[in-house]
Amino acid sequence: MPSFMLNCSQLISADNPFIDELPLWIGSSGKTVIKSPNCSPKQRKTLCRRITEPQRTTTVENMAEKIYLLAYHVLFIMFVWAYWQTIFTKPLNPLKEFHLSHSDKELLEREDRGESQQEILRRLAKDLPIYTRTTSGAIRYCDRCYVVKPDRCHHCSVCDKCILKMDHHCPWVNNCVGFSNYKFFMLFLTYSLLYCLFVTATDLQYFIQFWTNGLPDTQAKFHIMFLFFAASMFSVSLASLFAYHCWLVCKNRSTLEVFRAPAFRHGTDKNGFSLGVSKNFRQVFGDEKKYWLLPVFTSLGDGCSFPTCLMNPDPEQPASPSGNAAIKSDGETHLFPAKPLRESQSRLLSNGLSWAESEGTGNKDCQGTINPAMTMEKET
């Protein structure tokens, strides 16, 4: 065969017209050429590498491409996981201790006067860990669910249920965002923002080529333009929403509490539940750092009772059986919740110095006044 007479220098030369056909021909009798006496060991090694290497343009051999694919799929999987958890995690409702019994319902319905109804609710709520009131000082009660509302609990008109630590009802996930899935919602915003930023950054070079006529004249270039605009616009909207909810986490507030500050016996206090940035963050994401970035439930507490930062004790709340006492630090008095908390909540109260907000604006506006109005008031 004439090809056997070619020496190695001819085989590996750049202008050899047969070099592109060598891999196909070598497949059946490659050893004959490689072991040709005309080939030196160095030329034989070069020839083997030239023949057996796959084309770089059709394989994922480049390290940058591997990193790109790995980062893309990690962000995509975490985004879908967090989105799934946010959608399908059922919002928690108040515990049975907050529900009225059948006899209490009938007794409450028979009373026509608001003051009499309020007296009944006060009797039912005296053993419950409740600190918040309506703006008029009445016990928070839901006449649709027949429950004495726990702190930070609100009735969702879409779900027609009382949701623990309700933040808002989100149409994008078709679910209420509250105590049970607020961490998942935060991670959903985090990974969706990172995903959109990643797509925007990797598509930028091709978007520039589109305007400089550096791309082939095919329909694919319009797909690149649409992808860049969609990813960049979603990035802007998600960044603003993510920043807003990060601020809420640091302040230990919900969206509803921003529009209407929680009311206590001494009056409204927008920072009533704030324990400091660090403990506020841990209340949502938990104490275990290894789970902070995973869409698994690690929030502290039970959703019905929360550590509060109160200047004045509530005279209607009895002392805790475990020895409820006030903690004084820097001239302020901070009270433990009346009902003993589970261990995860108690850890939030372990350091009295961390009760105040880091900015020092915690409760300067609290006057300690009590609104004597006891008219019946229903909230949503």
Identify the residue with better confidence: 188 or 28: 188
Which pLDDT score is estimated for 246?
97
CB-based contacts of 117, cutoff 8 Å, min separation 6: 108, 111, 376
Helix (H, G, I), strand (E, B) or coil at 271: coil
Residue 44 has pLDDT above 90, yes or no: no
Which has the minimum average pLDDT: 11-25, 194-208, 216-230, 323-337?
A: 323-337
Question: In the predicted model, is pLDDT for residue 211 greater than 70?
Answer: yes
pLDDT for 351 equals: 44
Across residues 278-286, what is the average pLDDT?
A: 96
Taking the C-alpha atoms of residue 40 and residue 303, their distance in angstroms, rounded to an integer, is 78
Paired tokens of 150: 């726990």
- CA distances for 349 relative to 6, 153, 291, angstroms: 85, 21, 22
Q: What is the pLDDT of residue 333?
A: 37
Contacts of 360 (CB under 8 A, 6+ apart): none
Residue 282 has pLDDT above 60, yes or no: yes
Q: What gap in Å lies between CA 270 and CA 153, rounded to an integer?
A: 15
So which residues are the catalytic ones? 170
Q: By the 8 A CB rule, do 238 and 193 touch?
A: yes
Residue 370, Cβ density class (10 Å: 0-12 exposed, 13-18 middle, ≥19 buried) = middle
Which residue in the block uniquely carries the two structure tokens 């290497």? 53
pLDDT tens per residue across span 94-133: 999 999 999 988 888 888 777 888 898 999 898 899 999 9
Phi, psi at 364, each rounded to 5°: -70, -25
**Residue 148 forms beta bridges with which residues?**
141
Predicted pLDDT of residue 88:
96
Cα 92 to chain centroid, rounded: 17
149 to each of 153, 221, 257, 307, 357, how far by Cα in Å? 6, 56, 15, 16, 26
Least confident of 13-27, 96-110, 160-174: 13-27
The Cβ-side half-sphere exposure at 201, using a 13 Å CA radius, reads 9
Any idea what DSSP says for residue 302? -
pLDDT reported for residue 47: 54
Average of pLDDT values for 362-367?
A: 39
Rounded to an integer, what distance in angstroms lies between the CA atom of residue 221 and that of residue 240?
29
| Beta-ladder partners of 329 | 332
pLDDT by residue (tens digit) across 224-273? 889 999 999 999 999 999 999 999 999 999 999 999 999 998 889 999 99
Provide the greatest CA pair distance for the chain. Answer: 113
Token pair in block for residue 184: 């998942």
CA–CA gap between residue 261 and residue 64 (Å, rounded): 50
Instruction: Give the separation between CA 102 and CA 52, rounded to whole angstroms.
Output: 82
pLDDT score of 46? 58
Structure tokens at 326: 């006030």
For β-strands 147-148 and 332-335, DSSP reports them as unpaired
**Smallest Cα–Cα separation from 127: which of 376, 262, 321, 350?**
321
DSSP string, 12-56: TSTT-TTGGGHHHHHHHHHHHHHT-TT--HHHHHHHHHHHHSPPG
pLDDT band at residue 305, thresholds of 50, 70 and 90?
very high
Three-state SS at 230: helix
Contacts of 221 (CB under 8 A, 6+ apart): 206, 210, 215
